[in-house]
């Protein structure tokens, strides 16, 4: 198996596992009275991520993209993003989700990476969407999806912050 196929398969399995965890956490939160905000926005984010993976696969294979000469720094940055993302996920525990689910009396988490960065999970996702394609010289995918992702994450942060700060007071 080639490096791209291994990496791509890893990413798909990783995302699948995360969606299962998010679904379990969603059930727990809804049982506690959580409400979901921005359902339409969530569908757009899901569509963007699916299109990102399709674009990555197509660009790599149709344009015969090779492993980037600078793949190691990009891969190391990817590993840093994984550490940051999973630190955030572990810190949030059952509160971590791919949807915006807010409990009526939510307390802001201020431990783990949240002591240092306001949105570590989103920071990691922004870095991932930018660096994953660069590992394999997929410059088109990086240049198209990085700004789209940045816009969607920025929008989502505004919605999340408004809801969380309103309920945490």
The residue ranges of every structural domain in the chain are 3-167
Residue 147 and residue 129: Cα distance in Å, rounded?
A: 9
Place 85 in a pLDDT band, splitting at 50, 70 and 90.
very high
For 106-135, the pLDDT digits (tens) are 788 899 999 999 999 999 999 999 999 999
> Locate tokens 């088109």: which residue?
140
Residue-wise pLDDT for 43-64, tens only, equals 999 999 999 999 999 999 999 9
What DSSP line would sit under 96-107, residue for residue?
--SSEEE-TT--
d(C-alpha 120, C-alpha 112), whole Å: 10
Residues 134-157: tens digit of each pLDDT: 999 999 999 999 999 999 999 999
Quick one: DSSP state of residue 66? P
Q: Alpha-carbon distance 66 to 75, whole Å?
A: 14
Scored b (16 or more CB within 10 A) or e, 134-158 reads bbbbbeebbebbbeebeebbeebee
Q: How far apart are CA 159 and CA 137, in angstroms?
A: 34
pLDDT score at 107: 81
CATH class of 3-167: mainly alpha
The conformational region for residue 93 under phi > 0 = left, psi -120 to 50 = alpha, else beta, is left
- State the Cα–Cα distance between residues 112 and 12, nearest whole angstrom: 26
């Amino acid at each position: 198996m080639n490096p791209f196929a291994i990496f791509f398969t890893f990413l798909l399995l990783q995302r699948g596992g995360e969606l299962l965890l998010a679904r379990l956490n969603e059930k727990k939160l809804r049982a506690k009275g959580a409400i979901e905000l921005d359902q339409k926005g969530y569908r757009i984010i899901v569509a963007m991520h699916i299109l990102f993976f399709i674009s990555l696969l197509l660009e790599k294979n149709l344009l015969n993209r090779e492993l980037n000469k600078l793949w190691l720094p990009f891969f190391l940055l990817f590993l840093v993003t994984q550490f940051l993302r999973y630190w955030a996920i572990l810190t949030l525990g059952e509160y971590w989700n791919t949807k915006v689910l807010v409990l009526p009396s939510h307390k802001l988490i201020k431990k783990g990476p949240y002591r240092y960065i306001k949105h570590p999970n989103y920071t990691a996702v922004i870095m991932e969407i930018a660096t994953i394609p660069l590992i394999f010289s997929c410059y088109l995918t990086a240049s198209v999806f990085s700004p789209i992702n940045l816009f969607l994450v920025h929008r989502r942060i505004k919605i999340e912050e408004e809801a969380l700060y309103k309920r945490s007071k």
